[in-house]
Amino acid sequence: MRTFGTSKTADESLAGKLVIVTGASSGIGYGTARRLAQIEGARVVAIARRRVFRIEALAIQVREQTGEDRIFPLTTDMADRAQAETVVEEIEKQYGRVDAFIHAVNRALRLGALEVNDHEFDLTMQINVKSALYGVQAVVPLLKKQRAGGIVIYNPTPRKTAEFVASEAVYAAAAHALSALTAGWTRQLDGSGVGVREVAPAPEGDVVETCTSRSGTTHDALLVAALLDTLAVTAPAHAAPSLLRQPQTLRSRGGLTLQEF
C-alpha cells in the first residue's frame, strides 16, 4: 500500500476511473465519494437509499469546482438483491465498465445480545452484511469479464471494551460476518485480476465523516489507498477470463464433503 502523503505515479492515478460508492449520502461513504471526485479526479456513481439530496448537492459543488460532472447520484437500496443487480446492470449499460466497487454502508446498533429482537437483528445483518454481499455478487461478473477492477469493503471494528461487548454484540457479529465474506471473496478472486481489500480501522468513538484512525489518517484516505492497492492487481497472462478457484476435496465422511477453495 502506498504511503500517505507521497505523490502518486501515473499508474496510481484514479483520474477518470468509474467507482461505485455505496452508503454515499452520509458518513464515510459521503467523505469517500467527495474525496474521489474532488481530489482524485475519479467519476463516482454515488449510491444511497435515502437522503440522496446530499449527494445531489455535492455533485453540483464538484461540477462548479472542477468544471466536470464527476458525481452521479442514484437512489438504490443495496440491501435488496433485485435492486443491487438492476443498478449494476444500468451502470454497465450507461458507462460501459466499472473500475471499482466500494462498500461503505454501516449501521451501528447499540443494543445487547440479550435485548435484541428479531427486527433489529435482521435489519443490522441486512444493512451491514447483505448489502455488501448483493453488491459484490452483482459487480463481480463484470469485473471478471474485464479481468481488472477493485473491491473495497469498509468494516470498522470497534475496540473490544467491556462496555462494547455488553452493548454492541450484534454489531460485532455483523462485522465478523462481513470479514468472513471478504476473506472468501479474496480467495475466490485470486488470479482473476480483481483485487479485494477490507478496511477495518478501530474508530475513536462514533464513525462519522471526520473520523480518523489512530495514526491520524482519515478513513476516506484509507479507503482510497486500499482502492489503489486493488487496482494494482493484475491477472496472469495465462488466466482464463472467467477464472475461479476450483474447490479441492480435503476429506469426505458420512456423505459430507469438506472442500478448500
Q: Structural domain of residue 151, as residue ranges? A: 14-260
Annotated catalytic residue: which of 30, 134, 154, 171? Answer: 171
Surface-to-core class of residue 167, CB atoms within 10 Å of its CB (0-12 exposed, 13-18 middle, 19+ buried): middle
Cell numbers describing residue 30 = 459521503
pLDDT given for residue 199 in this prediction: 93
Q: Over the stretch 12-36, which tens digit does the pLDDT of each residue have?
A: 689 999 999 999 998 899 999 999 9
pLDDT given for residue 5 in this prediction: 38
154 a catalytic residue = no
CB contact at 8 A, 167 and 110: yes
What is the rounded distance in angstroms from the CA atom of residue 228 to the CA atom of residue 4? Answer: 12
Q: Over the stretch 132-189, which tens digit does the pLDDT of each residue have?
A: 999 999 999 999 999 999 999 999 876 665 665 666 788 888 999 999 999 999 999 9
pTM: 0.81
Q: Is the pLDDT of residue 120 over 50?
A: yes
Kindly state whether residue 159 falls inside one of the protein's structural domains. yes
> Long-range CB contacts (< 8 A, 24+ apart) of 214-221?
217/4, 218/31, 219/28, 219/31, 219/32, 219/154, 219/156, 220/28, 220/31, 220/32, 220/34, 220/35, 221/4, 221/35
Percent residues over pLDDT 90 in the chain: 61
Cell numbers describing residue 81 = 438483491
Kindly state whether residue 7 falls inside one of the protein's structural domains. no
How many residues in total does the chain contain?
Answer: 261
pLDDT given for residue 254 in this prediction: 45
What is the rounded distance in angstroms from the CA atom of residue 31 to the CA atom of residue 130? Answer: 22
pLDDT given for residue 203 in this prediction: 53
What is the rounded distance in angstroms from the CA atom of residue 79 to the CA atom of residue 81? Answer: 6
Side-chain half-sphere exposure of 164, counting CA atoms within 13 A:
14
pLDDT given for residue 55 in this prediction: 93
Dump the DSSP string for 147-199: T-EEEEEE-------HHHHHH-HHHHHHHHHHHHHHHHHHHHTTTTTEEEEEE
Q: What is the total count of domains within the chain?
A: 1
In this prediction, residue 76 has a pLDDT band, given cuts at 50, 70 and 90, of very high
Of 183, 186, 185, 158, nearest to 172 by C-alpha is: 158
Q: Is the pLDDT of residue 213 over 50?
A: no
What CATH number has the domain bearing residue 247? 3.40.50.720
pLDDT given for residue 59 in this prediction: 95
In this prediction, residue 193 has a pLDDT band, given cuts at 50, 70 and 90, of very high
What is the rounded distance in angstroms from the CA atom of residue 100 to the CA atom of residue 140? Answer: 10
Count Cβ neighbours within 10 Å for each residue of 193-229 and write b for 16 or more, e otherwise.
Answer: bbbbbbbebebeeebeeebebeeeebbbbbbbbbbbb
Q: Over the stretch 23-70, which tens digit does the pLDDT of each residue have?
A: 999 889 999 999 999 999 999 999 998 888 999 999 999 999 999 999
In this prediction, residue 101 has a pLDDT band, given cuts at 50, 70 and 90, of very high
